[in-house]
Amino acid sequence: MSAKPFEAVQAGDVIGPRTLTFTRDKLVRYAGASGDFNPIHYNDEYARSVSLPGVIVHGMLTMGAAIDVVVAWAGGPGAVVDYEVRFSRPVPVPALGQAAVEVSGKVTSLDAEARTARVALTVAHEGHKVLGKALVTVRLA
């Protein structure tokens, strides 16, 4: 990937949208890779016992997958200077099928001296934001 030139970016530019899909299989693979075997990510009965609607996506998986739309736009993961989110709502995953999460971004500000762009992400499932205050700062070429 080649880095996006700073001069090619303006405040207000839209990034995406992209649809992410999560299945129970993906949750199992992520649990193995991350070591996060909390039963809320694979056991419906347990998830409901702690007041969740059922099995939910790992928050860090949602966060990591969502930033990919900005990484691809900016030219690679090395462009990311800062990333912050607030987990605001769980993403339930049905036993069969998948959960869809819509991701889009908007350049909110530019810093010419640092050659950085600040991107606000909108990350939603069924019309509800699942990541609040999702902000990414990327360094551009």
CATH code, 83 = 3.10.129.10
- In the block, tokens 């993906």 appear at 26
Torsion of CA 28, 73, 130, 62, to 10 degrees: 10
130: left (phi over 0), alpha (psi -120 to 50) or beta: alpha
Rounded Cα–Cα distance for residues 133 and 88 (Å): 9
Q: Comparing C-alpha atoms, which of 50, 118, 26, 131 is closest to residue 80?
A: 118
Q: What pLDDT is stored for residue 3 in this prediction?
A: 85
- Residue 31 belongs to some domain of the structure: no
- Residue 91 belongs to some domain of the structure: yes
- Residue 40 belongs to some domain of the structure: no
- Residue 41 belongs to some domain of the structure: no
Least confident segment among 2-11, 55-64, 83-92: 2-11
- Residue 107 belongs to some domain of the structure: yes
Q: What pLDDT is stored for residue 78 in this prediction?
A: 96
- In the block, tokens 């607030």 appear at 86
- In the block, tokens 């949208």 appear at 17
Q: For residue range 26-46, what is the model confidence (pLDDT) as tens digits?
A: 999 999 999 999 999 999 999
Number of folded domains that form the chain: 1
The range of the structural domain enclosing residue 65 comes to 6-21+58-139
pLDDT band per the 50, 70, 90 thresholds, residue 1: confident
Q: What pLDDT is stored for residue 6 in this prediction?
A: 97
Q: For residue range 110-138, what is the model confidence (pLDDT) as tens digits?
A: 999 999 999 999 999 999 999 999 999 99
Q: Comparing C-alpha atoms, which of 40, 35, 129 is closest to residue 87?
A: 129
Q: Measure the N-to-C terminal CA separation of the chain; round to a whole number of Å.
A: 12
- Residue 52 belongs to some domain of the structure: no
- Residue 115 belongs to some domain of the structure: yes
- Residue 99 belongs to some domain of the structure: yes
Q: For residue range 5-28, what is the model confidence (pLDDT) as tens digits?
A: 999 999 999 999 999 999 999 999
Q: Three-state secondary structure along 68-79?
A: HHHHHHHCCHHH
Rounded Cα–Cα distance for residues 111 and 28 (Å): 40
Neighbours of 40 (CB within 10 A): 19
